[in-house]
Amino acid sequence: MNTKTPLEADLLIHAKWTLPMVPAGLVLDDHSIAVKDKKIIAVCGTAQARKTIRATQTIELPQHVLIPGLVNAHGHAPMALFRGVADDIPLKQWLEEHIWPLEGKLVDRQFVHEGASLAIAEMISGGITCFADMYFYPGEVAKAALDAHIRVQLASPILDFPTVWAQDADEYILKATQLHDDFRSSDLIYTAFGPHAPYTVSDAPLQKLAMLAEELDVPIHMHVHETAQEVADAVAEDGRRPLQRLNQLGLITPRLLCVHATQLLDAEMDLLNEQGASVIHCPESNLKLASGFCEVAKLLGKSVNVALGTDGAASNNDLDLFSEMRTAALVAKAVADDASAVPAQQVLEMATINGAKALGIEHLIGSIEIGKFADIAAVNLDELNTAPQNNPQSHLVYAAKSSQVSHVWCGGVAILEEGNLQTLDSALLHTTARSWQSKIADSEQ
């Protein structure tokens, strides 16, 4: 860097610690990040930055750690309005007797937009700058994301049967491709195909999706091997486990995101590694619905890319990736019977760079590197539960609360400052949530 001519920046952030995620495990003390035109243009020591960088805005965060904006790699954002509606029952009963009937009565464009806005506000408050979403009326989720200035990958749902969104697989696929065309030039909105699960989508649509995904170069986001019952039913029907069927249909590629994946044989893990597919781990939803345990340590040991998701707030019941990181780390150790399994740094990678890789956008986000979008979260470690600050990586996973997120930037735009939402109206969100609470109560009678 030329010390005689100051580097011009839009934003300069000075912080006590920076965890760039690339290279893995690096902790930078007293470093600064400079941002210009949405991108990171410098990462250097604070003493050097003060001398060589001239910024329009400078932020001082002397007790904070800077991390890449968190990536919530699986969820159903509008379902935040169903939070607490059907708790403590098995997945099949939860879906068939509660969620699907309520969706049939209530889900429309307004429900999706207002539910997504509520979810986005919660996610931003917890340091999330990018989320993957699978729900009806994805265009409304896109509008909510654009209003809030947060990144989203829309996995348009695809099923064999009719819903409020489409009548058959062909219509679902048509709407998904139209959505891709609508947002192909956006740097906030990305698209994917979202076939719900192997048991809800037949062979012909899946084969069509495999070809279209390659043609359009977009991911396929799918619930796969979520429960033992799902696998047993598939074997009883045609003698094949779901992943075997998906492999024969040509779906297992680097574009495939296998959500949940609690029921994997070693050979299936090897297959995912060989074909470059990702697993999206949703530990708290899996625990709440008793879906099973994803063997994260074994998957990572086999070099399978594993990312983190919250699932929807109807089955979690929050969208808190800090809580999800802690649960992921602790459950992984118990499942592996190994206290050294899945250490804090690996969990942080699952919530950042691994999520970006799963979504196919790791060249744009997921780490603090020059040239990437300035998607950054600042976490205040000057709290009793994170004192003393012996190890910021450990504290983020095992001790920090999402409420300690003080600032969030997406593409260099401040969307949370001093814990306050900048692009969304909290009072309005509370008002709309109360309105939906009454509608849901009436619908359940």
Give the tens place of pLDDT for each residue, 424-435: 999 999 999 999
Query: Looking at residue 208, what is its pLDDT?
Result: 98
149 and 156 Cβ atoms separated by less than 8 Å: no
Amino acid letter at 89?
I
Q: How confident is the model at residue 95 (pLDDT cuts 50, 70, 90)?
A: confident
Radius of gyration, alpha carbons of the chain: 21
Mean pLDDT for all residues in the chain: 97
Asked if residue 114 has pLDDT above 70, the reply is yes
53-58 long-range CB contacts below 8 Å, 24 or more apart? 53/6, 53/7, 53/9, 53/12, 54/6, 54/7, 54/8, 54/9, 55/8, 55/9, 55/10, 55/11, 55/12, 56/9, 56/10, 56/11, 57/10, 57/11, 57/12, 58/11, 58/12, 58/13, 58/14
User: Per-residue b/e over 161-194, b at no fewer than 16 CB within 10 Å?
Assistant: eeeebbeebeebbebbbebbeebeeeebbbbbbb
* DSSP conformation letters of 35-99: EETTEEEEEEEHHHHHHHEEEEEEEEEEEEEEEEPEEE-S--GGGGGGTTSS-SS-HHHIIIIII
Dihedral (CA of 54, 60, 62, 68) sign: negative
346 and 332 Cβ atoms separated by less than 8 Å: no
289 and 91 Cβ atoms separated by less than 8 Å: yes
Q: Which residue stretches of 168-263 are H helix?
A: 169-182, 203-216, 228-238, 242-248
Same fold, 7-68+373-411 and 70-358: no
Asked if residue 100 has pLDDT above 70, the reply is yes
Q: Which residue stretches of 239-313 are H helix?
A: 242-248, 266-275, 283-288, 296-301
Kindly list the domain boundaries of the chain, sorted by start residue.
7-68+373-411, 70-358
44 and 32 Cβ atoms separated by less than 8 Å: yes
Angle at which helices 426-444 and 109-125 cross, to 10°: 130
As its CATH architecture, domain 70-358 has Alpha-Beta Barrel (3.20)
d(CA 104, CA 114): 17
96-104 long-range CB contacts below 8 Å, 24 or more apart? 99/314, 102/440, 102/443, 102/444, 103/136, 103/163, 103/164, 104/163, 104/164
Query: Looking at residue 91, what is its pLDDT?
Result: 83
32 to each of 47, 278, 342, how far by Cα in Å? 9, 32, 29
- Average pLDDT (393-403) is 98
Q: Quick: pLDDT tens for 197-244.
A: 999 999 999 999 999 999 999 999 999 999 999 999 999 999 999 999
Q: Quick: pLDDT tens for 292-324.
A: 999 999 999 999 999 999 999 999 999 999 999
398 and 329 Cβ atoms separated by less than 8 Å: yes
Query: Looking at residue 1, what is its pLDDT?
Result: 44
How many Cα atoms are found within 13 Å in the side-chain-facing hemisphere of 369? Answer: 15
Asked if residue 396 has pLDDT above 80, the reply is yes
d(CA 63, CA 261): 38
Torsion of CA 328, 331, 336, 340, to 10 degrees: 70
358 and 307 Cβ atoms separated by less than 8 Å: yes
Number of Cβ within a 10 Å radius of residue 248? 12
Asked if residue 338 has pLDDT above 50, the reply is yes
How many Cα atoms are found within 13 Å in the side-chain-facing hemisphere of 126? Answer: 24
H or E segment and range at residue 185? none
Amino acid letter at 25?
G
Query: Looking at residue 307, what is its pLDDT?
Result: 99
77 and 415 Cβ atoms separated by less than 8 Å: no
Q: Return the CATH number of 7-68+373-411, one of 2.30.40.10, 3.30.460.20, 3.90.76.10, 3.10.20.340.
A: 2.30.40.10
Query: Looking at residue 2, what is its pLDDT?
Result: 47
